[in-house]
Structure 1
């Protein structure tokens, strides 16, 4: 009881502070903390709506980034909208930038920057050869085009990003975002591709990843057309090494983590990402590439 009384007294004392002072205090917390503390009192509620608070949660270069957007309608007015509205709009509605080939958004827990490279911003081996890949619009994609794999033996996808576009001193995870064409998806349950993530010029160790969402679902796999060339005599194995499986996102796409890295203070660093399967032991098809997303690594939250 004594502790509870002390807690109440503390909040009472804080609530008696001028709104501007409370706003400054809240700006030193986190976006979730500011939202929770807005329920403490009328003073806290008013302070939690303040531009002083939410301007601290926005990246310093957010205006520069949205100036690179593809001409379209923003969900907010960069000049007149409250900073809180701008913050949450950027959390829930990614903005297309750089001719619509990248997207920029914020991680709602921290305000850290998230960047996604669309398929057109990636280097895809034979990507411009219509015998192997096609470029199509997709109703569920944030980008104008996705890359659809017709037929290859050698899969290689690479991407690069300037670290100046990311938040410094942040643990980032990198995800390959994809889907499948049910009628023509095959060949990804034999040799797992290798992924590498890291700063260009540094040694980056590869790890194997799984691109088959149905590896553990034989019944679902049987509904797919297993298209193989006559000279492919190797049986398709269901026993890929114990790897993390892709999972389905809220937007309907699958994703698999390629790796993680820590962004430093050197804005001249360049992040390099690669996904490749070049053993050539089986053909592959039916992969739909939306892009590669770089976002802060999730930490446990109660």
Structure 2
């Protein structure tokens, strides 16, 4: 099969932008959907099972460690909602060594997320890795490839590596009740552009929709970004509040220009206090 014939075959498989009046006839893009969990927490489906919850806690905490109530973490107040995030009972004593690990980070939901505490603000931080996001065409090997990546800590995570798409769409959701109230947060996509990246002449769109429907949206020109290094694409900022708790939506997309894009690697979405 020649190069032009292969290119035409891929184009026929992937939906192209159409005018608004025929949009209802457009084929539905294939999505990689993350495992859906209850919006109010990061708890697994068996959260109501007391025995299962205790078993998970024992797996994390050293059985030989002295269990004790902790009122502070290295002189700071305990992080907001940390027991709930770590899937332990709110009234259960937690080993202090486990709290210390929060500065380094704790994986959640089968390494699709990470939770850590920033020392400066004592604020909760989260990373939603690529597997926790909905990426159009991500499970089609013609367009995306899932690759293993070793973090600085030595732990392995999965990255989404773009091979070729004209329809770029990445979405994520997160419950703001896990964030520390009163702290100014920034939400960013963490991505890398390879030297071979092409098709980014048109700016991409990034959007943050907060609980209640307030939107922050702008365009980013990836042609101006550095190559072969991780970069943060700021999506939006907001102050976490206990009075306005709900699910926020994070998006990155470009599918109006019809240009074939290559060479993008997605690590995930970072949600952390603004420095």
Name 2:193's counterpart in structure 1.
Answer: 180
| 2:109 corresponds to | 98
Question: Quick one: structure 1 residues 143 and 168, their matched pair in 2 at CA, closer, same or farther if it must change by over 3 Å?
Answer: farther
The aligned length equals 199
Deviations 1:248-275 (A, max 9, x none): 9xxx622121111222214641111111
- Is 1:150 the counterpart of 2:127? The answer is no
1:285 aligns with 2:258: no
- Aligned counterpart in structure 1 of residue 140 of structure 2, from 129, 137, 140: 129
| CA distance in structure 2 between the partners assigned to 1:53 and 1:147 by the alignment | 35
Inter-CA distance 246–261: structure 2 relative to 1 (3 Å threshold): farther
2:97 to 81, 84, 91: 81
Shift of 1:102: 0.6
Task: Show the 5 A alignment for 1:12-51.
Answer: none
- Given that 1:210 and 1:256 are in contact with CA atoms closer than 8 Å, whether structure 2 keeps it comes out as no
Pairwise CA distance, 1:55: 6.1
TM-score by length of 1: 0.59
Instruction: Kindly indicate which of the two structures has a greater share of residues assigned to helix.
Output: 1
Using the alignment, how far apart are the partners of 1:94 and 1:53 within structure 2? 14
CA deviation after TM superposition for structure 1 residue 171, in Å: 1.4
Q: Which of 199, 202, 223 is matched with 2:213 structurally? A: 202
| 1:255-274 alignment runs, 5 A limit | 255-266=232-243, 268-274=245-251
- For the 8 Å contact 1:246–1:255, the answer to whether it is kept is no
Q: 1:180 to 1:125 in 2, by over 3 A?
A: same
Contact 1:162/1:267, CA 8 A, preserved across alignment: no
- RMSD after superposition: 2.7
Q: Map 1:46-57; keep pairs closer than 5 Å.
A: 52=72, 54=74, 56-57=76-77
Contact 1:102/1:115 (8 A) holds in 2: yes
Conserved? CA contact 2:113–2:132, under 8 Å: yes
Shift of 1:185: 1.4
Question: Structure 2: 5+ residue runs without aligned partners?
Answer: 1-69, 89-93
**Partners of 2:236 and 2:96 in 1: CA distance:** 39
**How far apart, CA to CA, are the structure 2 residues paired with 1:274 and 1:115?**
16
3-state SS of the aligned residue for 1:110? coil
1:101–1:143 contact (8 Å) kept in structure 2: no
Q: Partner of 1:120 in structure 2?
A: 131
* Displacement after TM superposition at 1:167 (Å): 1.0
Residues 61-112 of structure 1: per-residue CA shift (max 9 Å, x gap): 22332348xxxxxxxxx515396xx1xx423x22111121111011221110
Give me the whole-angstrom Cα distance separating, in 1, the residues matched to 2:260 and 2:115: 34
Specify the alignment match of 2:34 in structure 1.
none
Q: CA offsets per residue over residues 7-52 of structure 1, 9 Å max, x none?
A: xxxxxxxxxxxxxxxxxxxxxxxxxxxxxxxxxxxxxxxxxxx965
Instruction: Tell me which residue corresponds to 2:272.
Output: 295
2:177 is aligned with 1:167: no
CA contact (8 A) 1:197 1:261 kept: no
Distance 1:200 1:152, change over 3 A: farther
Deviation at 1:201, TM superposition (A): 4.7
Q: Normalized per residue, which structure has more strand?
A: 2
Task: Please name the residue that 2:204 is paired with.
Answer: 193
Instruction: List per-residue Cα deviations over 1:220-278 (Å, max 9, x = no partner).
Output: xxxxxxxxxxxxxxxxxxxxxxxxx5699xxx622121111222214641111111112
What 5-or-longer segments of structure 1 have no aligned partner?
Answer: 1-49, 69-77, 216-244
